[in-house]
Amino acid sequence: MHFSLAEIAKKAGISRQAIYKRHFNGNHEILDYIHKELDAEFRMIFQTYDKKVYPDPFVFFAEVVIPILYTHRKQISCLFTTAADPYWREFLRNTYGQWIEQHITIDYQKLNIPKEKAAQVLVRGILIFIEIWITQPEPTPPEQFAETFLKLIHFPLTDYVCFKQTSSNDKLIVTNSLEGKEKTRIRLYCLQKLDFLCLTFGVRFIRFLILDNKLTTYNRCIGF
C-alpha cells in the first residue's frame, strides 16, 4: 500500500500546503524525517546502556527499549504493514544490529554457521518478535510483552514445542505449560522463529538442531 501526499494530508486533517510548509517535498522526505526522528531517539536510549546496571543486555532491551517502541506503535505498525517504506526493515536491522554487535557476543562456532550469519539470526529473530507484537490491532502492554520477550530469549524453544506422533505425520505442537493468550503468543513466536531459521539456513539445519537436541545450544550460545 502506497500513500500520496493528498492522502496523508487528509488522514492528518491538514492541507497539502501545510505539509509543504514543513519542507516535505514528497513521501520519501516524510519517511526520511521519521527515520531520523526514531533513529535519534533510539540512539540516545542505547547510549544510556550501562552494563553494571543491566548485566544482561536483553533485560535492558525489554525494560527500556520495548516501552519506547510501544509509544511509537502506530507509526511503527504502519511501516511494518504497508509498502510505504521498503527500507524499513533494513533500517531496523542496522539500528539494532550495531548495538547488538557491540554488547552481545555470539559463539557462532557452536552453531556451525558464519559469524555474520549468527548475528543476523539474532537481530532478525528479535525483529520478528517485535513485528508480531507491534502490528496487532491492540498490542499487549509493554510490561507484559517484555516478560514474554525474555522468556523467548532466555529459554530454549524445546521448553515450548515438541513433536507428537500422529497417525499421519509428526506435528509441531506447543506444550500446555502456558495458558490463554500467552500460550497463543508463544506458539506464534516459536513458529515464526522456526520459519525464519528454515528460510535462512534450510530445513536440514532445523532438523539437525532438533534431532541433535541443539535448540538449547542455540539459545545458550548467546553470551554477554
123 assigned to some structural domain = yes
> 200 pLDDT band (50/70/90 cuts)?
very low
**Helix axis angle, 180-201 to 203-211, nearest 10°:** 120
Name the range with the highest mean pLDDT among 1-15, 59-73, 183-197, 208-222: 59-73
8 assigned to some structural domain = no
Task: Write out pLDDT tens, residues 104-162.
Answer: 888 878 778 887 788 888 888 888 889 999 999 999 999 999 999 998 888 776 666 65
7 assigned to some structural domain = no
2 assigned to some structural domain = no
> 38 pLDDT band (50/70/90 cuts)?
confident
Q: Quick one: what percent of the chain has pLDDT higher than 70? A: 56
- Write down the pLDDT at residue 65: 94
4 assigned to some structural domain = no
Task: Give me 18's grid cell.
Answer: 501545510
Asked if pLDDT for residue 34 goes beyond 60, the answer is yes
Residue length, the chain? 224
- Can you tell me whether residue 104 is helix, strand or coil? coil
Task: Write out pLDDT tens, residues 90-110.
Answer: 888 887 888 888 888 888 787
- Write down the pLDDT at residue 81: 80
> 219 pLDDT band (50/70/90 cuts)?
very low
DSSP symbol at 4 = -
- H helix runs in 48-140, sequence order: 57-60, 66-71, 73-81, 88-103, 108-111, 115-134
Q: What radius of gyration do the chain's Cα atoms show?
A: 20
Expressed as residue numbers, the domain containing 106 is 13-223
- Write down the pLDDT at residue 170: 52
- Write down the pLDDT at residue 118: 81
> Average pLDDT over the chain, rounded to whole?
71
- The answer to whether the predicted template modeling score (pTM) of the entire model surpasses 0.75 is no
Task: Give me 172's grid cell.
Answer: 509441531
224 in Cβ contact with 57 (< 8 Å): yes
- Write down the pLDDT at residue 192: 56
Number of domains in the chain: 1
